[in-house]
């Protein structure tokens, strides 16, 4: 007997309840995450503060979850933080992001770590997200994955005593200590 596996889409995601959980569609599978905890949210806010500086310099726009990124009909994600460079702002709509942002940031947590470092890293590379950043609260480190012709090339992890400079924003170093507060 064949097992029928449901395939979820962006249309199905639009019907999910507003219950405080984060729903995503990854390769047609529905992924549900609980609401993040306090330390996770503080880290997200510190990250947003960095990207707001870029926004003030007219380099692009920053958004936080919950805000859908539609990569295709069967891949809709909600990264913790995303940044769209000025030259790609045409993918930003009032309802969602239609295509790959330039930077996506995920704060690793026990409930999402495997997903963030597994299916999502491959998905983001496949759809052309130029940089994928993972912030790890357990060891207070930041790793940047830079897209190359061969997939993502990791930079880091960078720790509290270091600063990171993305090639996308060479004039704006990010202090890892400031990120982790």
Q: Does residue 109 form part of some domain?
A: yes
In a domain, 17, yes or no: no
Residue 4 counted as domain residue: no
Average pLDDT over residues 126-144: 96
- The pLDDT value recorded for residue 1 is 59
Calculate what percentage of the chain has a pLDDT beyond 90.
75
Long-range Cβ contacts of 2-8 (<8 Å, 24+ apart): 7/74, 8/74
Q: How far apart are CA 42 and CA 36, in angstroms?
A: 10
Burial 126-163 (b: 16+ CB within 10 A, else e): ebebbbbbbbbeeebbbbbbebeeeebeebbbbeeeee
Instruction: Provide the token pair at 173.
Output: 């170093």
CB 140 within 8 A of CB 105: no
Please give the pLDDT value at position 24. 80
Mean pLDDT computed over 84-94 = 98
50 within a domain of the structure (yes/no): yes
Residue identified by tokens 């790793």 is: 143
Helix-then-strand count for the chain, H and E = 5, 13
- The answer on pLDDT for 44 being more than 80 is yes
| Owning domain of residue 133 | 35-179
Work out how many domains the chain is built from and give that number: 1
Share of the chain above pLDDT 70, in %: 97
Per-residue pLDDT, averaged over 134-163, amounts to 95
Res 94 pLDDT > 90: yes
Q: pLDDT of 100-109, one tens digit each?
A: 999 999 999 9
Question: Would residue 12 count as lying in a domain?
Answer: no
pLDDT for the residue 3: 67
Is residue 126 predicted with pLDDT exceeding 70? yes
- Would you say residue 20 has pLDDT above 80? no
CATH of the domain at 151: 3.90.1570.10
Residue 80 has which token pair?
């913790």
């Amino acid at each position: 007997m064949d097992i029928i596996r449901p395939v979820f889409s962006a249309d199905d995601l639009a019907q999910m309840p507003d219950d405080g959980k984060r729903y995503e569609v990854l390769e047609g599978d529905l992924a549900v995450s609980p609401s993040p905890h306090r330390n996770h949210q503080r880290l997200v806010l510190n990250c947003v503060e960095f990207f707001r500086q870029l926004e003030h310099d007219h380099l692009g726009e920053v958004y936080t979850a919950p805000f859908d990124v539609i990569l295709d009909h069967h891949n809709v994600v909600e990264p913790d933080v995303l940044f769209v460079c000025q030259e790609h702002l045409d993918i930003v709509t009032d309802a969602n992001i239609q295509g790959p942002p330039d930077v996506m940031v995920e704060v690793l947590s026990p409930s999402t770590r495997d997903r963030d470092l597994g299916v999502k890293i491959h998905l983001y590379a496949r759809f052309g997200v130029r940089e994928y950043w993972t912030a790890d609260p357990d060891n207070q480190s930041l790793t940047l994955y830079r897209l190359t012709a061969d997939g993502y090339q990791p930079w880091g992890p960078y720790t509290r005593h270091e600063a990171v400079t993305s090639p996308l924003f060479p004039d704006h170093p990010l202090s890892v200590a400031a990120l982790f507060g």
